[in-house]
Chains A and B, each alone.
Chain A
Amino acid sequence: MRVKLLYSTDLEALKKVLAEKGIPFNPDVLMDHVVYMFGIEDCSRVTTHQLVRHRVASYDQESQRFSAATKEGVVTPPSIQTNEAANKVYDEALKTVYSAYEKIVAAGVPKEDARYILPTAIKTKLVMTINARSLMHIVWQRTALQAQWEIRELVTSMYDLVHEATPELWVNVIER
């Protein structure tokens, strides 16, 4: 999985406005106004289905209507990777599904319809724009131990990036 911060709001510009109006800097005042845009790659559609449940954000994701799927582009959970018997079944199932996908496309069916057979393990790419307050909510929920490993990994990466870009804004996050 890869996460890249494409841009973030210039916090200094916002702080300058506060200073000009005689308002002391308080991270909570600016949480709605600092915006981040991320490029996210090679996470599964399982995880992006979880991610888009957080609706106060903007998402644009690689379309399976137009992009061909390949067997190489799938995520295998560690619990399957480390289980020889399960990994064998997983791999065989993927081979069957992708073989069927290719045959359906070769038979002239548009990719947008052939994709109905594809697994949610498939890797995907997207861009996401979100403000700090909404992201903080996601960090709170999705870095918890109850959250699934892949979205925890994704959101932890996002948090690391925004913490580096705008550390003053993230002083009140409770570490899990």
Chain B
Amino acid sequence: MFKLNPHAGSECTMKVSLVWSSPKPERTIAVAMRRCYSTKVIEDIEVELEQKGAEYWRFLLTKCLQDKSLDVLEHFTMSLLVEGAGEAEISRLICRFPHIHATRLNETDWLFTVNSRTLVELWRDREGRLFAESVVAELDRKKVSPLFNELVFGDRMHAR
């Protein structure tokens, strides 16, 4: 639970729960990276990434962050249930971040779908940071993308 946009004096406290995310997010990002630089067919890229394992995914992810090639992060997507949020708070977020897809479920609950590039942008933004922290905490709690979280958010320098 956290307060969204406390700087604006909002009293809204919301809860973020992960509904679904791309399978093997770090490998998915690595597939997109390798697609740019490999002539192999996609199945061979997938085999290569499985064989080389998580250390290679770390290498590729580190390189994409260093090169600021964040487009590959767009292939790691997630859907979230956001509960206890008012329309004003959500409107502020989606106006600022048009790549967030939000559907209102009832007075205070929303279904969000967002990709991890937008998550990084939320993290870097004063207004979006608390929401991003809540999403990252949920990803951590569900052990969805430990390598991604460590590289992108663990060392705060990468995302700032």
CA distance A154 to B105 in the complex (A): 35
Interface residues on A, range: 20 to 34
* B113 (CB) vs chain A CBs: closest residue: A33
Known interface pairs A61-B36, A125-B41; A7-B103 also in contact (CB < 8 Å): no
* A23 (CB) vs chain B CBs: closest residue: B105
Of the residues A23, A32, A60, contact of B101 by C-beta under 8 Å = A32
CA distance A131 to B78 in the complex (A): 12
In contact, A127 and B31 (Cβ under 8 angstroms): yes
CA distance A33 to B112 in the complex (A): 7
In contact, B101 and A131 (Cβ under 8 angstroms): yes
Contact with B along A30-45 (1 / 0, CB 8 A): 1011010101010000
**A47 to chain B: closest CB distance in Å?**
16
In contact, B113 and A60 (Cβ under 8 angstroms): no
Contact with A along B13-47 (1 / 0, CB 8 A): 00000011011000010011101111101110000
**B58 to chain A: closest CB distance in Å?**
19
**A37 to chain B: closest CB distance in Å?**
6
Could you pull out 26 A-B pairs where Cβ atoms are within 8 angstroms?
A4-B42, A7-B23, A13-B20, A13-B79, A17-B19, A21-B106, A22-B106, A32-B103, A33-B79, A33-B101, A33-B113, A35-B113, A41-B42, A58-B71, A58-B75, A60-B36, A61-B36, A62-B36, A63-B36, A66-B37, A67-B37, A125-B35, A125-B39, A127-B35, A127-B42, A131-B113
Give residues in A with beta carbon < 8 Å to B: 2, 4, 6-7, 9-10, 13-14, 17-18, 21-23, 29-30, 32-33, 35, 37, 39, 41, 58, 60-63, 66-68, 125-127, 129, 131
Give residues in B with beta carbon < 8 Å to A: 19-20, 22-23, 28, 31-33, 35-39, 41-43, 71-72, 74-75, 77, 79, 81, 101, 103, 105-106, 109, 111, 113, 115
